[in-house]
Amino acid sequence: MEKTPTIRFKHFLVVTTILLITFLSSPVQTARKQQIFRIITEEFPPYNYTKNGKITGISTEIVRTILKRLSHPDNIEIMSWSRGYDLINKNDNIILFSTTRSPQREDLFKWVGPLVPNNVVFFARKGSGLPVNSLDDAKNIKKIGVYKDDFGEQLLKEKGFTNLDSVIDNKDNVQKLVDGKIDLWAINELTGMHLAQQVGLADKIESVFLVNEAQMYIAFSKNTPNNVIKKWQNVLYRMHSDGSYARIFGKWLDSRG
């Protein structure tokens, strides 16, 4: 039986909790001088997004908890993914979340996590009947919508896809899919449904193929000292052990019904 998004989400929570708690024997290093980061995220609901003028979401709440425990300013700002991705690649003292950790990106950044799952799927217009049972099938589709510099775009390019149509604003792909301007949309499963709900088109699209299962992390500029990364990682470990990480997930899962 195909796993639902919520079941996959709960499985991720159980597995990461077990894995992370094994590291709790590592001592937290005493802070010397507080390093202040420029913290960047994007519109990627339900993980990080703007609601009523405030930045919120599952990942945002986890990161805010870490910031509070480290006495770091809550200076999260939101911008397009492509701009944030460019900034972290060219500057020191940058944090970018939620960032999918992949072999292509491994040596570009330092990493803290895992933070949340990233299950990339193909969405199609409901009832389209497109024959997508494999990635090779998808390569024969006329046009696939992707999000510029997103993990989904990078993954498909790596796999030899040449039929990609890239946008800066992910919401554009919802309307383009419904209007027939693209045939498939490659996007995180939960994010795709959330964006479609925001524009009232959730009943017009459906997930038709699971492309990839990965995990998203907090990415740091490559030159970030390792002792700083360890300090952030240890706080995340302790969020698992004290139950605060599970409570954030539980609150969201409850809101999904």
* 3-class DSSP string for the chain: CCCCHHHHHHHHHHHHHHHHHCCCCCCCCCCCCCCCCEEEECCECCCEEEECCEEECHHHHHHHHHHHHCCCCCCEEECCHHHHHHHHHHCCCEEEEEEECCCCCCCCEEEEEEEEEEEEEEEEECCCCCCCCCHHHHHCCCCEEEECCCHHHHHHHHCCCCCEEEECCCHHHHHHHHCCCCCEEEEEHHHHHHHHHHCCCHHHEEEEEEEEEEEEEEEEECCCCHHHHHHHHHHHHHHHHCCHHHHHHHHHHHHHC
- Strands 94-100 and 205-221 come out as antiparallel
What pLDDT, on the 0 to 100 scale, is given for residue 67? 98
| pLDDT band with cut points at 50, 70 and 90 for residue 102 | very high
pLDDT over 70 (residue 12):
no
- Rounded to two decimals, the pTM is 0.81
CATH class of 5-118+215-256: alpha beta
Q: Pick the more confident residue, 4 or 81.
A: 81
d(CA 220, CA 201): 35
Output the average pLDDT for the chain: 90
What pLDDT, on the 0 to 100 scale, is given for residue 256? 55
Fold entry, domain 119-213: D-Maltodextrin-Binding Protein; domain 2 (3.40.190)
| pLDDT band with cut points at 50, 70 and 90 for residue 257 | very low
d(CA 42, CA 83): 9
Q: Pick the more confident residue, 9 or 129.
A: 129
Percent of the chain with pLDDT over 90: 81
Q: Pick the more confident residue, 7 or 174.
A: 174
Kindly report whether the peptide bond that precedes residue 114 is cis, defined as omega within 30 degrees of 0. Answer: yes
What pLDDT, on the 0 to 100 scale, is given for residue 11? 62
CB 46 within 8 A of CB 110: no
Mean pLDDT for 217-230 is 98
> 135 vs 52, 100, 119, 122, 205, CA distance in Å?
39, 20, 15, 10, 19
For residue 13, the one-letter residue type is: L
Per-residue pLDDT tens over the stretch 146-190: 999 999 999 999 999 999 999 999 999 999 999 999 999 999 999
| pLDDT band with cut points at 50, 70 and 90 for residue 18 | low
Residues of the chain with CATH 3.40.190.10: 5-118+215-256, 119-213
What pLDDT, on the 0 to 100 scale, is given for residue 27? 44
d(CA 13, CA 197): 25
| pLDDT band with cut points at 50, 70 and 90 for residue 136 | very high
What pLDDT, on the 0 to 100 scale, is given for residue 29? 44
d(CA 198, CA 170): 12
pLDDT over 70 (residue 224):
yes
Percent of the chain with pLDDT over 70: 85
pLDDT over 90 (residue 64):
yes
| pLDDT band with cut points at 50, 70 and 90 for residue 30 | very low
What pLDDT, on the 0 to 100 scale, is given for residue 252? 75
For residue 16, the one-letter residue type is: T
- Residue 161, CB-side half-sphere exposure with 13 Å CA sphere: 28
